[in-house]
């Protein structure tokens, strides 16, 4: 079913994604090294912020978006077992993403767009940076439309049937992204670009930040979707088990859709322009996002236990020993859950209005989102690539040892990178520092933590390199005749599901309604307030 | 599979919508009603006020203990650096003539005789005397005695009077000199936990802040009366509520101690 041109399409998405990932990974490690006491200070903080901007933009916008897009296209053919409709549009989408990345990275490398990937108005970058980001987002919107169209085609051909879980989950990611990217799009188009293009010299920074928060949290759940799809639909099959509950999976994905959107103001807990009551409302719904996460942890652990018991494991914990630990997917899901556990615990602290005061804008935050995204999520991207690769290339992928070494290195590296960050974050080390004065007796004791993080980063670079090597070797493996690609089978086969869990109308309505309830007043109020703009601060001179 | 989704008969629809609505309602009730009122205690006059404050609607800052601002501006005087220029002797001369009508209460040379309880004007910064005269005339500082007297003064008259009094030397009154009173903590350090600044920050002869009188040697009864007026809001011509903010947390006892201390200087 997996046609050759679709396979090329998916491979192209993955390779661009992994190339961007590796370049950004190198930049990240460079940042770690130059601010550590290991080498002399580079002397120019601007270079550091250039690198941070490129690292964040590539890792935040380009890499996960392309992985989600490529994986989504693969799911259409593999799960729906129908040819992908709109292939030409899919290529246009990819070209837009690549074009956008190049257009955005030119001003970044010239030092005219060191605004970090979160934009930070009143900082204003060269307009090309924002246009590039818009192109990336527009390219991904084509993917959203194609996912919706392909499901419609399938539903027409299969009236009344249950949508396969991988595609159902895939659509959750697509719709979530479509709605959450609106915030940053509005911010760029209506608030930032008029200033970047020179029509205005002031910007409403508070309103801009509220719009960005609209995007900033749910975007993480968009990054998360491919990992969660892999948890539910690849892991149980890959380790020889069964999915504990198909319906639980559907409920988790629709809960993500409803609850991950109207919570972004927890990123603005220390901002004065939003009222405390609104912040409380967002904190409550942020807590609700832990529900689908915990549901998933339960369901997947149960599915893994089924695998352990099928393999002859007995007793309360004997099934853990019986699990196929030589299997990269097994390793990946275990690492992912551990990193998710630490990251999630930190997230519950950030979510709390009071505790957040202690860690706001410290290195703790950097540690938190690296654990969640670069740890729990990206390690599953690796697993997805390993799982799909033979079906994409038609060749055997045999480097089991290298894969395991790669996953171990990533897991260890991520722990060594982020744990010191958490520690110094609690001690008050600010994030986004280009330079530490280690001669200051108050800072000197923290030098060791910066060195540790640099070492963790080095392990990650080695792991990233191994990852690319495994995939490259996969292209030169021997041709194999593979059995048909299968997703996980649930314990109880799904003949029919309630209409509410077979489509998105209800959940989209709740998502939009809740967004309006939680964001309506802050946005309306800030739009209506007069004299709230501040002078823009152009980066690298006037554009 | 064919059951309608958006229907009250569909339990997925009713339960999920009801759950989200109830969750939002409870969260909103806590965030917009309970928490703001629990935190600010009696600061919120009404439920509507607590909702507005929790929603982040901009509002003028108002301390719960203080009455509202009566006028939009507490004074119409804009203090500027023109008062710090060199002394104009002609103005001082004109002021001396005008000051004849003030001598009944404020003394021939700006120091009130004991028992009148009128503040001394001798040696006060000209910006301070000028501002009070303007505020009496405009009604920003109500006074049954001063208001009629100031009504007929022109702006130049007030400047001349201020210049005259700034050039006089305060005479130490019999009975005041030699009485030693310890510096109250509130005068030297304020009371930071109650948001009261130190009096000496502004009211020291060496500070020379614009429109800030020297209060050394003022009659104790006058100081008590003015602090109580600021505290209750009866007097409200202080720019940015500086004095009302400082006075509203003072106890009557503290006011007495401060008055005795400054009167003794």
For A417-455, the pLDDT digits (tens) are: 999 999 999 999 999 999 998 888 888 999 999 999 999
Please name the member of A160, A276, A514 whose beta carbon is closest to the beta carbon of B54: A276
Confidence class of residue B207 from pLDDT cuts 50, 70 and 90? confident
Q: Residue B78's pLDDT band (boundaries 50, 70, 90)? A: confident
**Cβ of B20 and A281 within 8 Å?**
no
Whether A77 and A20 have beta carbons less than 8 Å apart is answered as no
Q: How many CB pairs under 8 A join A and B?
A: 90
Q: Which of residues 46-85 of B touch A (CB under 8 A)?
A: 51, 53-58
Instruction: Categorize the per-residue pLDDT at A360 as very low, low, confident or very high, splitting at 50, 70 and 90.
Output: very high
CA-based nearest distance B38→chain A, Å? 12
Partner residue facing A510 (CB), from B17, B56, B58: B17
> What would the pLDDT profile of A71-82 be if each residue is shown by its tens digit?
999 999 999 999
Mutate which of A277, A506, A510 to disrupt the B interface (most B C-beta within 10 Å)?
Answer: A277
Residue of B nearest to A516 (CA): B24
Give the pLDDT confidence score for residue A525 in this predicted structure.
93
pTM of the model: 0.78
- Say whether pLDDT at B70 is over 60: no
What is the band of A542 on the pLDDT scale with cuts at 50, 70, 90?
A: very low
Is the pLDDT confidence value at B251 over 90? yes
Span A358-384, average pLDDT: 96
What digits encode the pLDDT tens for the residues A247-279?
A: 999 999 999 999 998 899 999 999 999 999 999
- Given a cut of 80, whether residue A146 has pLDDT beyond it is yes
What is the CB neighbour count within 10 angstroms for residue B112?
23
The pLDDT tens digits for A317-328 are 999 999 999 999
State pLDDT tens for residues A29-72. 999 999 999 988 888 899 999 999 999 999 999 999 999 999 99
- Closest residue in B to A160 (Cα–Cα): B1
Tell me what the mean pLDDT of segment B168-192 comes to.
77
Task: Tell me the Ramachandran region of residue B41: left when phi exceeds 0, alpha when psi lies from -120 to 50, beta otherwise.
Answer: left
Interface contact flag, B6 A505, Cβ < 8 Å: yes
Q: Is B12 on the interface with A (CB under 8 A)?
A: yes
Interface test with B, best of A275, A290, A495 (most B CBs within 10 A): A275
Query: Cis (ω within 30 of 0) for the bond into A122?
Result: yes
> What's the pLDDT at B41?
53
User: Which of A275, A510, A517 comes nearest B16 by C-beta?
Assistant: A510
Question: In which band, very low, low, confident or very high, does the pLDDT at B68 lie, cut at 50, 70 and 90?
Answer: low
Contact state of B55 with A525 under an 8 Å Cβ cutoff = yes
Instruction: Report, as an integer, the average pLDDT of B59-74.
Output: 59
For range A273-288, the mean pLDDT: 94
- Tell me the average pLDDT across B210-222: 90
% of chain A at pLDDT higher than 70: 99
Q: How far apart are the C-alpha atoms of A66 and A221, rounded to whole Å?
A: 15
More confident residue, B34 or A147: A147
Q: Which chain B residues touch A275 with a CB distance below 8 Å?
A: 53-57
Shortest CA distance from B6: residue in chain A: A506
Question: What is the average pLDDT across B35-61?
Answer: 76
Nearest to A295 by CA among A259, A349, A321, A346: A259
The pLDDT score that the predictor gives to residue B76 is 78
Q: Do B57 and A496 touch (CB under 8 A)?
A: no
User: Residue A32 and residue A39: Cα distance in Å, rounded?
Assistant: 11
Q: How far is CA A120 from the centre of its chain?
A: 20
Say if the Cβ atoms of B13 and A500 lie within 8 Å: yes
Mean per-residue pLDDT for A92-98? 98
Q: Which residues of B touch A522 (CB under 8 A)?
A: 55-56
Q: Kindly determine whether residue A277 and residue B10, on different chains, have CB atoms separated by under 8 Å.
A: no
Query: E strands along A206-267, which residues?
Result: none
Q: State the CB neighbour count (10 A cutoff) for residue B4.
A: 10
| Structure confidence at residue B63 as a pLDDT band (50, 70, 90) | low
Q: How many CA atoms lie within 13 A of A338 on its CB side?
A: 12
Q: How far is A433 from chain B, CA to nearest CA, in Å?
A: 32
What pLDDT does residue A543 have?
37
Say how far apart CA B64 and CA A129 lie, in whole Å: 49
Distances in Å between the Cα of A11 and the Cα atoms of A30, A73, A173, A445, B226 are 28, 10, 20, 47, 82
Is the pLDDT at B66 greater than 60? The verdict is no
Outline where DSSP puts E strands in chain B.
Answer: none
**Residues of A annotated as part of the active site:** 217, 221, 368-370, 431-432
Distance CA A87, CA A149 (A): 12
Locus of tokens 């749910």: A218
**Across residues A152-173, what is the average pLDDT?**
95
Q: Is B2 an 8 Å CB contact of chain A?
A: yes
Burial (CB count within 10 angstroms: exposed 0-12, middle 13-18, buried 19+), residue A136: buried
Query: Over 90: is that where the pLDDT of B84 sits?
Result: no
At residue A403 the predicted structure's pLDDT band, cuts being 50, 70 and 90, is very high
Please give the pLDDT value at position B52.
86
Residue A151: pLDDT band with limits 50, 70, 90 = very high
Q: Is the pLDDT of residue B64 over 90?
A: no
pLDDT of residue B190: 85
Q: Which candidate in B20, B39, B50 is best for mutational testing of the A interface (most A CBs within 10 A)?
A: B20
* A474 contacts: CB under 8 Å, gap ≥ 6: A389, A390, A393, A395, A396, A397, A399
Q: B48 to chain A nearest CA, in Å?
A: 13
Q: C-alpha A76: how far from its chain's center?
A: 21
Of A275, A288, A503, the CB nearest to B56: A275
Q: Write the ipTM.
A: 0.87
């Amino acid at each position: 079913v997996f046609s050759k041109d679709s396979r090329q399409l998916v491979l192209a998405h993955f390779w661009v994604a992994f190339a961007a990932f590796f370049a950004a990974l190198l930049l990240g490690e460079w940042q770690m090294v130059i601010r550590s006491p290991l080498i002399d200070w580079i002397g120019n903080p601007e270079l550091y912020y250039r690198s941070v901007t490129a690292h964040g933009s590539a890792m935040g916008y380009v890499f996960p978006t392309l992985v989600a897009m490529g994986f989504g296209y693969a799911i259409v053919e593999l799960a729906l077992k129908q040819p992908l409709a709109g292939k030409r549009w899919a290529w246009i989408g990819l070209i837009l993403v690549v074009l956008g990345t190049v257009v955005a990275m030119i001003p970044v490398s010239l030092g005219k767009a060191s605004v970090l990937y979160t934009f930070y108005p009143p900082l204003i970058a060269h307009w090309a940076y924002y246009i590039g980001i818009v192109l990336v987002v527009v390219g991904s919107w084509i993917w959203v439309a194609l996912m919706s169209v392909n499901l419609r085609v399938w539903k027409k051909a299969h009236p009344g049937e249950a949508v396969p879980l991988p595609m159902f989950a895939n659509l959750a990611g697509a719709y979530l992204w479509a709605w959450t990217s609106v915030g940053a799009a509005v911010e760029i188009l209506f608030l930032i670009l008029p200033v970047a293009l020179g029509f205005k010299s002031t910007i409403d920074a508070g309103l801009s930040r509220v719009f960005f928060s609209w995007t900033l949290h749910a975007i993480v759940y968009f990054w998360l979707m491919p990992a969660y799809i892999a948890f539910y639909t690849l892991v149980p099959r890959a380790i020889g088990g069964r999915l504990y509950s198909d319906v639980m999976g559907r409920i988790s994905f629709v809960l993500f859709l409803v609850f991950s959107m109207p919570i972004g103001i927890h990123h603005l807990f220390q901002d004065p322009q939003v009222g405390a009551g609104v912040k409380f409302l967002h904190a409550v719904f942020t807590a609700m996002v832990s529900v689908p996460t915990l549901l998933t942890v339960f369901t997947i652990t149960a599915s893994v236990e089924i695998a352990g018991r099928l393999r002859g494991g007995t007793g309360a914990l004997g099934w853990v020993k019986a699990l196929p630990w030589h299997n990269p997917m097994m390793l990946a899901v275990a690492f992912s859950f551990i990193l998710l556990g630490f990251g999630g615990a930190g997230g519950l602290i950030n979510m709390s209005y009071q505790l957040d005061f202690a860690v706001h804008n410290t290195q703790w935050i950097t540690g938190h989102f690296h654990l969640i995204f670069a740890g729990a999520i990206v390690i599953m991207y690796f697993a997805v690539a390993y799982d799909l690769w033979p079906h994409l290339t038609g060749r055997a992928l045999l480097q089991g040892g290298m894969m395991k070494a790669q996953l171990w290195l990533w897991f260890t590296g991520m722990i060594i990178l982020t744990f010191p960050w958490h520690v110094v974050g609690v001690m008050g080390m600010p994030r986004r520092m280009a330079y530490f004065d280690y001669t200051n007796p108050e800072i000197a004791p923290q030098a060791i933590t910066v060195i540790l993080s640099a070492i963790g980063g080095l392990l990650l670079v080695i792991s990233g390199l191994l990852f690319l090597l495994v995939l490259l070797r996969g292209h030169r493996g021997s041709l194999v005749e593979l059995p048909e690609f299968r997703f996980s089978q649930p314990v109880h086969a799904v003949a029919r599901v309630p209409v509410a869990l077979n489509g998105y109308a209800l959940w989209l309505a709740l998502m939009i309604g809740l967004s309006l309830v939680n964001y309506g007043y802050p946005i309306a109020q800030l739009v209506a307030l007069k004299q709230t703009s501040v002078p823009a601060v152009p980066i690298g001179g006037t554009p | 599979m064919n059951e309608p989704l958006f229907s009250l008969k569909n339990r997925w629809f009713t339960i999920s919508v009801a759950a989200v609505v109830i969750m939002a309602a409870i969260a909103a009730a806590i965030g917009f009603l309970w928490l703001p009122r629990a935190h600010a205690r009696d600061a919120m006059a009404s439920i509507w006020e607590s909702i507005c404050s929790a929603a982040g609607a901009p509002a003028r800052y108002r301390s719960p203990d203080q009455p509202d601002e009566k006028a939009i501006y507490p004074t119409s005087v804009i203090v500027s650096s023109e008062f710090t220029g060199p002394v104009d002797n002609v103005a001082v001369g004109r002021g001396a003539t005008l000051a004849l009508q003030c001598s009944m209460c404020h003394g021939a040379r700006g120091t009130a005789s004991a028992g009148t309880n009128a503040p001394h004007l001798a040696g006060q910064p000209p910006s301070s005397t000028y501002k009070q005269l303007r505020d009496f005339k405009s009604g920003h500082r109500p006074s049954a005695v001063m208001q009629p007297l100031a009504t007929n003064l022109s702006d130049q008259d007030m400047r001349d009077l201020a210049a005259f009094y700034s050039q006089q030397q305060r005479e130490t009154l019999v009975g005041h000199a030699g009485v030693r009173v310890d510096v109250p903590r509130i005068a030297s350090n304020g009371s930071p936990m109650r948001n009261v600044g130190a009096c000496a920050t502004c009211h020291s002869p060496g500070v020379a802040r614009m429109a800030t009188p020297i209060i050394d040697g003022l009659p104790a009864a006058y100081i008590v009366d003015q602090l109580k007026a600021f505290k209750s809001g009866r007097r409200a011509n202080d720019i940015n509520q500086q004095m009302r903010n400082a006075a509203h947390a003072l106890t009557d006892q503290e006011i007495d101690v401060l008055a005795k201390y400054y009167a003794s200087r």
